[in-house]
Every structure is written in C-alpha cells, then in structure tokens.
Amino acid sequence: MLVDYHTHNYLCKHADGTIEDYIQHAVAIGLHEIGISDHSPMPDHWDGEVRMNEEQFWNEYKPAVFALQEKYKDNIKVKFGLEGDFFPGTEQWVKEFLSKNEFDYVLGSVHYLGEWGFDNPIFVHRYEEQDIDSVYELYYEHIKKSAQCRLFDIISHCDLVKKFGHRPTKNMEELLRETFKVVKDSNMAVEINTSGLRKPIKEQYPSEKILAILSELKIPLTLGSDAHTPEDVGRDFGLAKEFIEKYGNGRISLFTKRQRSEVKVS
Ligand code: ZN
Ligand code: FE
Ligand code: FE
Ligand code: ZN
C-alpha cells in the first residue's frame, strides 16, 4: 500500500494543475490513495496570496474533491484533506471552520514565526539577521503549540526551518525529544515529506535524527510529497519507503474521517 497525503493545486495560487491532474498522476504511478490537502482558507484574508478563500473552498475545492472521489472510485481512493496553519490567535476560527466539514485528515503546518514567513524565499535574508539557535527554539516552540492546540491530525514538514540550509549550532537533541513527546501526547502522526529533497537543504523532512526520535517514541508516520505540480506526486517515495521500514516498523498511517488506521507500506 502506498499513498500520498500532501498535495496542492491551482487554488492556492502557487501550485500548477487541477485537483484532477494530481489524481491522474497518482493513478498513473499506481498509488492506492491520494490525499487532497491544499492550503486552508484563513480568517480576515490572512496570507491570502497563497491560499484559496473561503468562497473558493465551499464552491470549488470541496465539491471538486467529492465529485472526483466518485469519478475515480474504481481507480484510487481520494481523501478529503486540508493543510491547516498554526498561527496564534486564529485557533478559534480554524476550529469552527474544521468543525463544519468532514475532513478525512487535517495537516498541521507552521509556516510563520510571528510575522515572518520563514519558508518564503523572499524573506530568507532574515535568517542571517538573527541567532539561528533562537530561531530553531522558537520554531519548535510553535510545533509544540501546534500539537497542543489539538486542531490537527498530522504534523507536516516538522523541521521546515532547515529549508534553506541553515543548521543550528547547538545540540538540539533535548529540545527535539521534548517537542515530540508533546506530539506523542497529542496523539498525532508525523509526516515524512519528500519536498525537502527538492529544496536547498536537499533532505526530506524530517531528518533521520528526528526520525530516530519518532521511532523511539512510537509516533506513527504518514507519507506526503507536498506536490505543487502534478508530476511531483509520489516523488522520491522509494527513499521514503526505506525510512518507513527503518523508523516506522514498515507501517504507514491512513486517515478516514479523522480516524487513523495503519497498513504495511509496499
Ligand atoms: Zn504551498
Ligand atoms: Fe506547508
Ligand atoms: Fe503543502
Ligand atoms: Zn506544505
């Protein structure tokens, strides 16, 4: 069984292709499930340049996912997902929005530290203007809170802060352990996200060091390409499967209506 639970589409304005294009690519490469998980709408047009608005969610995204579920039901299982954002102050809005829908799963992502969109290439210079260890500490503080808020099922790209190649100078082992214990207590899964291999860091999220901690804590793993173009669906899943074998007991998590189950990866 092989699935891709992290895909985008044209609605977020920084990805190519329709939802159907992503599904067709998933069928072509033989995936058993594909999760549609475009960037969630947020209140007050927050970060509106890189996401659909609420109207598009109700009028395009949601109906399209359900129509395509039906259309492709003999070929592949299409899951109704979403990539949510953890941003302090928006939790109540997000909670209400999520409760109005029967998602199969919701990814929890940290893309902002305060006003700084730290994974946006436009603002990469800000890494040089701060103490990198403090950036990492602040980042993992956010990951912890994104787990504690209990809004999401899966922590996506959980070491995204490394994206442009900035590494901490301090040993982060203890901080990581503490962070992922909170993730474990929140009953969440963590995603192996292959998009890091296509970024300056040239490494999947998370690193093997973190994968070893996840394995020790018995945190379940999911699989996602974070495709922003249809051809990237399932990209580098050969490597990801090796990590699932090594750090996840050979098992991946599936989600249906926000209930987790496990299957053997193959
Ligand atoms: Zn995106
Ligand atoms: Fe993301
Ligand atoms: Fe994404
Ligand atoms: Zn993402």
CB 31 within 8 A of CB 1: no
- Ligand 1 centroid from CA 206, angstroms: 17
Query: Position 90: which residue type?
Result: T
Mean pLDDT of 113-124: 96
pLDDT digits 0-9 by tens, 67-97: 999 999 999 999 999 999 999 999 999 999 9
Q: 207: burial class by Cβ within 10 Å (0-12, 13-18, 19+)?
A: middle
pLDDT digits 0-9 by tens, 149-206: 999 999 999 999 999 999 999 999 999 999 999 999 999 999 999 999 999 999 999 9
- Ligand 1 centroid from CA 47, angstroms: 12
Distance CA(256)–CA(208), nearest Å, equals 28
The pLDDT, as a whole number, for residue 263 is 98
**Mean pLDDT over the full length of the chain:** 98
CB 37 within 8 A of CB 82: yes
- Ligand 3 centroid from CA 39, angstroms: 7
- Ligand 1 centroid from CA 124, angstroms: 16
Query: Position 55: which residue type?
Result: E
Looking at the CA of 49, which ligand is closest?
Answer: 1
Mean pLDDT of 95-123: 97
Which residue segments constitute the domains of the chain, with CATH numbers given? 3-264 (3.20.20.140)
CB 176 within 8 A of CB 183: no
pLDDT for 242 beyond 90 = yes
- Ligand 2 centroid from CA 72, angstroms: 26
Distance CA(206)–CA(125), nearest Å, equals 23
- DSSP, collapsed to helix, strand or coil, labels residue 181 as helix
Rounded to 5 degrees, what angle do the CA atoms 187, 103, 259 make? Answer: 40
Please confirm whether the linkage preceding 206 is cis (ω < 30° from 0): yes
The pLDDT, as a whole number, for residue 39 is 98
- Note the Cα 238 to chain centre separation in Å: 19
Mean pLDDT of 107-113: 98
What Cα–Cα distance (Å) separates residue 1 from each residue in 134, 222, 264?
Answer: 40, 12, 6
- Which protein residues have their CB within 5 A of the ion that is ligand 2? 109
Looking at the CA of 85, which ligand is closest?
Answer: 2
**Nearest residue to 44 via CA among 33, 32, 53, 36:** 53
- Ligand 2 centroid from CA 225, angstroms: 11
What percent of the chain has pLDDT above 90?
100
Mean pLDDT of 199-227: 98
Looking at the CA of 109, which ligand is closest?
Answer: 2
- Ligand 3 centroid from CA 174, angstroms: 27
Interacting residues of 4 by C-beta distance below 8 A, sequence separation 6+? 26, 31, 33, 34, 35, 223, 224, 225, 227, 233, 234, 237
* Sign of the alpha-carbon torsion through 148, 52, 196, 28: positive
- Ligand 2 centroid from CA 107, angstroms: 9
pLDDT for 45 beyond 90 = no
